[in-house]
């Protein structure tokens, strides 16, 4: 019963936190995706300069283009992520020797974090596909439902899930980095505050730990995220596969092209984490 209550609390808290994250972070996400998928001159300059240009040409609603997809999906995405983390914890504990009730190690926590990305991808992949298309396609789509309808008409469910492998390539190591760094920071901050139990840390300490965890996550995630954004917004037949996307970016933009989106990702993660 206690385990069920814990999973339910994680499910609900993840959902509520996710809605707040979208509201604060979407303008930065918009800039990130457009940087990753465009070489236009309008994408030069600072993150806030690009936002100013977006507002000038599209109005304030332009900063929230494509927000409907993550807004609808973010509650289940975050909720499933925290639920998956609970499941991951149980799975890693099952691998222990009988009778071992010691606190989870950093490796176990990180592995549980990686496991959490697996069920999340079922919702994350199509959401990212539609979001990225809405963010980069101007007035091609009338809205989320029209975008989903057009994408589905091209290749069915497989088209909606285009980029799933790259979503996993981003989210598994990203989740490992996030949960692992978060735990490391909590333990170190607990020592600084003279607290034996990291769960008793102050709110500010928790925010600091979350900020470092988010930066670690996106430090790992940006290259596969750039590949994912480019692949998911490409027209049918533009790339032969994941490897072809990588080769195309490196050939035309160098390896630095894989790091596009890093600048807006950092303030976004600090604000939402």
pLDDT tens track for 80-114: 888 899 999 999 998 888 777 788 899 999 999 99
Per-residue pLDDT at 197:
83
Per-residue pLDDT at 269:
87
Per-residue pLDDT at 45:
79
Mean per-residue pLDDT for 110-130?
97
Look up residue 196 and give its DSSP letter: S
Per-residue pLDDT at 7:
61
CA–CA gap between residue 149 and residue 109 (Å, rounded): 40
* Lowest-pLDDT choice from 99-113, 130-144, 239-253: 99-113
* Lowest-pLDDT choice from 127-136, 163-172, 202-211: 202-211
DSSP string, 232-254: HTSPTTS-SSHHHHHHHHHHHH-
User: At residue 12, does pLDDT exceed 80?
Assistant: no
User: At residue 133, does pLDDT exceed 70?
Assistant: yes
CB atoms < 10 A from the CB of 18, how many?
Answer: 22
Mean per-residue pLDDT for 196-212?
88
CA–CA gap between residue 234 and residue 244 (Å, rounded): 12
Q: Is this structure's pTM higher than 0.85?
A: yes
User: At residue 208, does pLDDT exceed 70?
Assistant: yes
- Please give the share of the chain, as a percent, with pLDDT higher than 90: 66
Per-residue pLDDT at 113:
95
User: At residue 232, does pLDDT exceed 60?
Assistant: yes
User: At residue 242, does pLDDT exceed 80?
Assistant: yes
User: At residue 39, does pLDDT exceed 60?
Assistant: yes
Residue 153 burial by CB count (10 A; 0-12/13-18/19+): exposed, middle or buried?
Answer: exposed
* Residue 13 pLDDT class (50, 70, 90 cuts): low
Per-residue pLDDT at 52:
92
Mean per-residue pLDDT for 41-66?
88
Per-residue pLDDT at 220:
96
What per-residue string of b and e applies to 31-47 under the rule 16 or more CB within 10 Å gives b? bbbbbbbeeeeebeeeb
* Residue 2 pLDDT class (50, 70, 90 cuts): low
CA–CA gap between residue 161 and residue 121 (Å, rounded): 10
Three-state DSSP class for 137?
A: coil
Domains recognised in the chain with CATH numbers: 2-272 (1.50.40.10)
CA–CA gap between residue 224 and residue 168 (Å, rounded): 9
């Amino acid at each position: 019963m206690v385990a069920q209550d814990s999973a339910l609390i994680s499910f609900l808290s993840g959902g509520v936190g996710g809605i707040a994250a979208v509201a604060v972070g979407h303008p930065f996400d918009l800039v990130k995706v457009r940087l990753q998928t465009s070489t236009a001159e309008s994408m030069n300059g600072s993150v806030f300069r690009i936002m100013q240009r977006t507002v000038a040409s599209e109005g304030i609603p332009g900063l929230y283009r494509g927000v409907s997809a993550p807004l609808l999906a973010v509650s289940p995405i975050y909720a499933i992520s925290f639920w998956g983390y609970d499941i991951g914890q149980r799975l890693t504990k099952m691998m222990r020797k009988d009778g071992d009730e010691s606190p989870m190690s950093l490796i176990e926590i990180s592995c549980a974090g990686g496991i959490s990305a697996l069920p999340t991808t079922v919702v994350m992949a199509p959401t990212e596909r539609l979001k990225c298309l809405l963010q980069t396609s101007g007035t091609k789509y009338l809205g989320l439902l029209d975008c989903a309808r057009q994408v589905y008409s091209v290749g069915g469910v497989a088209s909606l899930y285009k980029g799933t492998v790259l979503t996993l390539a981003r989210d598994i190591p990203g989740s490992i980095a996030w949960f692992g760094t978060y735990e490391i920071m909590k333990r170190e901050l607990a020592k600084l505050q003279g607290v034996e139990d990291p769960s008793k840390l102050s709110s500010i300490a928790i925010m600091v730990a979350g900020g470092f965890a988010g930066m670690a996550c996106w430090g790992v995630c940006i290259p596969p995220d750039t590949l994912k954004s480019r692949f998911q917004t490409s027209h049918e037949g533009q790339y032969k596969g994941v490897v072809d996307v990588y080769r195309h970016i490196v050939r035309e933009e160098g390896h630095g092209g894989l790091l596009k989106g890093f600048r807006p990702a950092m303030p976004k993660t600090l604000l939402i984490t």
